[in-house]
Amino acid sequence: MLITRLEKVSKSKVRVYIDGDYGFFLYQKDMERYQLMEDEEIQMSLYEEIIEDIVLPRAKQKALSLLKVMDHTEAELRRKLSRNEYPSFVIDQVIYYVSEYGYLNDERYASAYIRAKMGSTSKRMIQMKLSEKGISKELFDRIYQEEHEELEEDPEIKAIKKLIDKRTKGLPCETMEEKQKIMAYLFRKGFPTEKIRQCLQ
């Protein structure tokens, strides 16, 4: 394997390219330790040592520090580690590591998110936000149904009533124009038309 490029991106950070492709980044102290040079061969044993002793532990530490601040989905964590320039095969190992120890759990994340938003946000909006975070529709549908079954009142009906009260300050809608404005507002929030009509009646 040939080190084809060493790209200094800051005072302390260097990107290492191997055989023309991005390999990993190291800090200046690592560069001094391993004495890597452009256009020189890097032995497989040294490459593996750098990955195992430097790159992978740092990626794990980064993941743990991110998860310590707040829960993430697997997709979110992958994106953040990728933005921090960790190689994809290293990210795979990190995801396995944090999942094995229970630090990363998409089902737990989705359950907590749905519970927090039910009763104030439409099902469609909750699903859209979780989809952006990498939660599949199948997982969302199953967990939403489970959470829904535990509630006495339909959470969307509850949320619509709450928003109507907020918009009308608790006063009844007397004109068709007022009702249409509220319907349009709630529809933009992702609530189904039939449930909006039911609450307005």
- Cα–Cα–Cα angle for 111, 115, 120, rounded to 5 degrees: 140
Cβ atoms of 121 and 155 within 8 Å: the answer is no
Extents of the domains making up the chain:
1-42, 55-104, 106-149, 155-200
- The tens place of each residue's pLDDT in the chain, 201 residues long, gives 999 999 999 889 999 999 999 999 999 999 999 999 999 999 999 999 999 999 999 999 999 999 999 999 999 999 999 999 999 999 999 999 999 999 999 999 999 999 999 888 999 999 999 999 999 999 999 999 988 877 777 888 888 988 888 888 777 777 788 888 888 999 998 999 998 888 887
Say if strands 40-41 and 21-27 run parallel, antiparallel, or are unpaired.
Answer: unpaired
Q: DSSP code of 37?
A: -
Q: Given this model, what pLDDT does residue 43 score?
A: 93
Picking from 178, 181, 168, 173, the residue whose alpha carbon sits closest to that of residue 201 is 173
Q: Which residues pair with 8 in a beta bridge?
A: 14
- CATH 1.10.10 assigned to domain 55-104? The reply is yes
d(CA 6, CA 37): 8
d(CA 56, CA 50): 9
Helix ranges, 71-174 (H): 74-83, 88-100, 106-117, 123-132, 137-149, 155-168
Q: Given this model, what pLDDT does residue 6 score?
A: 95
Q: Given this model, what pLDDT does residue 144 score?
A: 93
What tokens were used for 55? 């790159």
d(CA 144, CA 126): 10
d(CA 95, CA 59): 10
